[in-house]
């Protein structure tokens, strides 16, 4: 499920304003960059895990 699908325009604006207040304007790009890196690493880990599972099932 995509959580953004449940949020309307007003809710997204409120979340953006809260993030701006909490982290400050200078920290938002750093935060977004780190979240992107974490997502990429997670996807790579999931792909490696799926490859290992398929290799193990092929050996059986």
pLDDT tens-place string over residues 14-54: 988 998 888 888 888 898 899 999 999 999 999 999 888 88
Full-model pTM: 0.57
Phi, psi of 39 (to 5 degrees): -65, -40
Which pLDDT score, from 0 to 100, does residue 1 have?
47
Spatial separation of the C-alpha atoms in residues 16 and 21, rounded to whole Å: 9
- Say how far apart CA 14 and CA 21 lie, in whole Å: 11
The pLDDT of residue 33 is 94
For residue 59, give the H/E element and its range: helix 27-59
In the predicted structure, residue 13 carries a pLDDT above the cut 80:
yes
- What is the rounded CA–CA span in Å between residue 56 and residue 49? 11
User: What does R_g of the chain's alpha carbons equal in angstroms?
Assistant: 18
């Amino acid at each position: 499920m995509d959580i953004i699908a449940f949020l309307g325009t007003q809710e997204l604006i409120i979340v953006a304003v809260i993030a701006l207040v909490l982290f400050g304007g200078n920290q938002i790009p750093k935060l977004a960059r780190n979240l992107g890196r974490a997502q990429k690493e997670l996807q790579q880990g999931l792909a490696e895990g799926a490859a290992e599972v398929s290799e193990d099932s092929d050996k059986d």
